[in-house]
Amino acid sequence: MPTISDVARAAGVSMSTVSYVLSGRRPISAETSARVRAAIAELGYHPHAGARALASSRTSVLALVVPLRADVNVPVIMQFVTAVVTAARRYHHDVLLLTKDEGTAGLERVAGATMVDALIVMDVEGDDVRIPALGRLKQPSVLIGLPDDPAGIACVDLDFAATARECLAHLAGHGHHRVALVGPSPSVYERGTTYAQRFLDGFTDASAELGLETVAHSCEPGADGVRDCLAWIDSELPGTTALVVHNEDALVPLLDELRARGRSVPGDLSIVAVCPRDVATSLPVKLTSADIPAHDVGTLAVETAMALLEGRKAPGTRLLPPTIIERDSCGPLS
Amino acid sequence: MPTISDVARAAGVSMSTVSYVLSGRRPISAETSARVRAAIAELGYHPHAGARALASSRTSVLALVVPLRADVNVPVIMQFVTAVVTAARRYHHDVLLLTKDEGTAGLERVAGATMVDALIVMDVEGDDVRIPALGRLKQPSVLIGLPDDPAGIACVDLDFAATARECLAHLAGHGHHRVALVGPSPSVYERGTTYAQRFLDGFTDASAELGLETVAHSCEPGADGVRDCLAWIDSELPGTTALVVHNEDALVPLLDELRARGRSVPGDLSIVAVCPRDVATSLPVKLTSADIPAHDVGTLAVETAMALLEGRKAPGTRLLPPTIIERDSCGPLS
DNA sequence: TTGAAAGCGATACCAG
DNA sequence: CTGGTATCGCTTTCAA
């Protein structure tokens, strides 16, 4: 493996010149630069990451902490991950993957060892024990999600309250007055992640603002859960004409059940789902949906981390506005 | 951030002693060791990864290259990833995540920069351009999958040929003689990944050995694809009493279609699926299935990488034996 | 516009 | 069982 001094010798310049050609941190004559680049190419030189990290105390690596709970939606996580990796590469960074189950220790390990320049943490809970730990690190971090108290750490997420509002507004625009929310499974509410509650709060507020009659109920997984939830809705708000579904796993059994009952979508019942684009379009009825912009959130998280590293931008919270995509599951009131 | 010499001073020993306490590469008296550890804990010392990598030319990091094609099964990929990360941690290694779309350049970048000790590459194709590139690296690598020519690189995968054989043997054991294979979509065969072909070859061979009448056909995605495939099977092998389904996405529409036709499973038709445990159990009929042991394969890949790093074990191919799990979709010939 | 040289923080060899 | 120290390969300040 050639070193920087091999390159320097081959190009007939000093080590520092080679270094500056690579970093661009000081002007180099076009001619010198060309000679150096030629030598680099010819020798197949790659700067040694460890040496570079030691000398500069920057690693060009980002830590990404992912949940591996089965209870969260795996394809969505994967979308975050690929968005983060892809965006990181645009900034010449690589991604070190940590799992949430290592908890605080994992963060302290990679940060303490100076393995990473910044950390991006997914699946943040309302009262997440990792937040104080992150605050103690010398590296900046970005949360994907919104805890009760970010404690000065940057946050990025979809604006779930506004999303609920848009869903209701969309249905109201179609003339619906009685709308039910099919929520996530109870375990999601119990667990600390706040997005379910934020969505529910937005739903409740918007319902009042828009003068709608609404109910909301969590929905256990599986066909039975869906049936129970529908039964609950029927008894609590008879004459419901539209559903907002904030529960991906419920979608397939829900459509099955409605078909079995002979209720057509959107003829008898309109539906707005909150889910990634691809699941909305892969079902028998193409669902009007509020997108989960995993790609945008992941990208923004990386951009925020980079801004923090460069000292621009104070940490704060960025909630992305929702996007409703009209498809075939929303009709006028019949 | 305290350094090793801060620890040495605090403990009243030399730097080298601290280093040896940490690495265990030479005997240290219990007393000294205790003093050093106390100092480490008190100062909150973490060895600097870059410095360590520079001095020792080992990084304690593994590269993992994942595909991000939508066409592969995302939850299965995620299982590989979590298995690799978890296993790596048991060996005190972290995982740097690369995406397949960076191609050869990504491998050369992280290996050339000495960012990783070894590489694990998923979604290897029959004639994968990355294989010669991996051969040129100074770090060892492990392939998940089985290319046409591993060129001396270690491979780990499920034994798909044996899996096909077991599926057929299982059905033959239930008295079936006419069996059809519902294969992956044509795009999977066209793309270079070899597992589909290996499964098909195993299927064909075992069919002959067991004296069965079989046909095999690829299956396009979606309900239409399933209908076409079933129609093809009906015309080519009338009286088929059992299906081997090597196509996860076809499972839901297939069961739907059979139900629509009033054909019961396993009453009228037996099914063995090749898929991860959780999808086999989450369908309306609990499917008898051949497991995709993503967790085991990922773990074994890491263990192989570690063995290679320690110089034990020559690279070679390890194909994991299949496991058929009997559930509710296989009955006797009626 | 370029060069020389002092670290960065560990590891591991040479000594004792 | 423990110490001293050269060394790893690069960045960056100081000088020219």
pLDDT of A176 higher than 90: yes
Q: Report whether B282 contacts A221 (CB < 8 A).
A: no
In terms of CATH, what superfamily is A160-292?
A: Response regulator (3.40.50.2300)
pLDDT 10s digits, A282-292: 888 999 999 99
Q: Report whether B60 contacts B93 (CB < 8 A).
A: yes
Cα–Cα distances in angstroms (integers) from residue A223 to residues A234, A250, A255, B256, B259, in the given order: 16, 8, 10, 15, 16
- Mean pLDDT over residues A20-42, rounded? 96
A&B contacts, CB < 8 Å? 110
Q: Report whether B88 contacts B142 (CB < 8 A).
A: no
State whether residue B175 is helix, strand or coil: coil
Would strands A288-291 and A324-325 be described as parallel, antiparallel, or unpaired?
antiparallel
In terms of CATH, what superfamily is B4-56?
A: lambda repressor-like DNA-binding domains (1.10.260.40)
- Asked if the Cβ–Cβ distance from B51 to A54 is below 8 Å, we say yes
Structure confidence at residue A70 (pLDDT): 63
pLDDT of B70 higher than 80: no
Q: Cβ of residue B27 near strand D, that is under 7 Å?
A: yes
Tell me which chain B residues have a C-beta less than 8 angstroms from the C-beta of A110.
Answer: 94
Structure confidence at residue B75 (pLDDT): 86
How far is it, in rounded angstroms, from Cα B117 to Cα B53? 10
Name the minimum distance, in Å, from the CA of A209 to any CA of chain B: 40
Name the minimum distance, in Å, from the CA of A139 to any CA of chain B: 12
Q: For A183-269, where are the E strands, in sequence order?
A: 213-217, 242-245
Distance between the alpha carbon (CA) of A90 and the C1' atom of D15, Å: 37
Distance between the alpha carbon (CA) of A54 and the C1' atom of D14, Å: 21
How far is it, in rounded angstroms, from Cα B212 to Cα B210? 6
Burial class (CB in 10 A: 0-12, 13-18, 19+), B88: buried
pLDDT of B334 higher than 70: no
Would strands B324-325 and B288-291 be described as parallel, antiparallel, or unpaired?
antiparallel
Report residue A161's pLDDT band, with 50, 70 and 90 as the boundaries: very high
B window 72-91, beta carbon within 8 A of A: 74-75, 77-78, 81-82, 85-86, 89
Would strands A118-121 and A141-144 be described as parallel, antiparallel, or unpaired?
parallel
Which of A167, A197, A66 minimizes the C-alpha distance to A122? A66
Tell me, yes or no, if A109 comes closer than 8 A to chain B by beta carbon. yes
- Mean pLDDT over residues A103-118, rounded? 98
Measuring from the CA of residue B25 to each C1', which nucleotide is nearest?
C12
Q: Report whether B2 contacts B45 (CB < 8 A).
A: yes
pLDDT 10s digits, B114-136: 999 999 999 999 999 999 999 99
**Residue of chain A whose alpha carbon sits nearest to that of B221:** A282
pLDDT 10s digits, B139-167: 999 999 999 999 999 999 999 999 999 99
- Mean pLDDT over residues B172-185, rounded? 96
pLDDT 10s digits, B188-244: 888 778 999 999 999 999 999 999 999 999 999 888 999 999 999 999 999 999 999
Instruction: Name the DSSP letter for residue B311.
Output: T
First-to-last C-alpha distance (Å) of chain A: 74
Handedness of CA B183, B189, B191, B197 (dihedral sign): positive
Distance between the alpha carbon (CA) of B23 and the C1' atom of D5, Å: 19
Q: Report whether A122 contacts A80 (CB < 8 A).
A: yes
How far is it, in rounded angstroms, from Cα B96 to Cα B63? 5
Domain spans of chain A, in order of start: 4-56, 61-158+294-320, 160-292
Distance between the alpha carbon (CA) of B41 and the C1' atom of D9, Å: 30
Report residue A223's pLDDT band, with 50, 70 and 90 as the boundaries: confident
- Asked if the Cβ–Cβ distance from A94 to B98 is below 8 Å, we say yes
- The nucleotides of chain C lying under 7 Å from a protein CB are 1-5, 7-13
Which of B233, B230, B214 minimizes the C-alpha distance to B222? B230
- By Cβ distance, the residue of B82, B108, B112 closest to A68 is B82
Query: What are the beta bridge partners of residue B61?
Result: B94
Q: Which residue type does A40 have?
A: I
Tell me, yes or no, if A314 comes closer than 8 A to chain B by beta carbon. no
**A61-158+294-320 architecture in CATH?**
3-Layer(aba) Sandwich (3.40)
- Asked if the Cβ–Cβ distance from A78 to B78 is below 8 Å, we say yes
Structure confidence at residue A169 (pLDDT): 97
**Residue of chain A whose alpha carbon sits nearest to that of B77:** A78
Closest residue to D1 (CA to C1') is: B28
Q: Fold match between A61-158+294-320 and A160-292?
A: yes
- Asked if the Cβ–Cβ distance from B113 to A54 is below 8 Å, we say no
pLDDT of A31 higher than 70: yes
Structure confidence at residue A334 (pLDDT): 65
Report residue A313's pLDDT band, with 50, 70 and 90 as the boundaries: confident
Q: Report whether A49 contacts A59 (CB < 8 A).
A: yes
- φ/ψ (deg, to 5) at A217: -150, 140
Mean pLDDT of chain B: 94
| Optimal mutation site among A64, A69, A85, interface B, most CBs of chain B within 10 A | A85
Distance between the alpha carbon (CA) of B31 and the C1' atom of C15, Å: 23
The pTM of the full predicted model, rounded to 2 decimals, is: 0.95
pLDDT over 90 percentage in chain B: 86
Handedness of CA B320, B277, B192, B301 (dihedral sign): negative
Structure confidence at residue A73 (pLDDT): 80
Report residue B73's pLDDT band, with 50, 70 and 90 as the boundaries: confident
**Burial letters for B273-286: b for 16+ Cβ neighbours within 10 Å, e otherwise?**
bbbbbebbeebebe
- Mean pLDDT over residues B79-108, rounded? 97
Q: Which residue type does A78 have?
A: M
pLDDT 10s digits, A63-105: 999 998 766 688 889 999 999 999 999 999 999 999 999 999 9
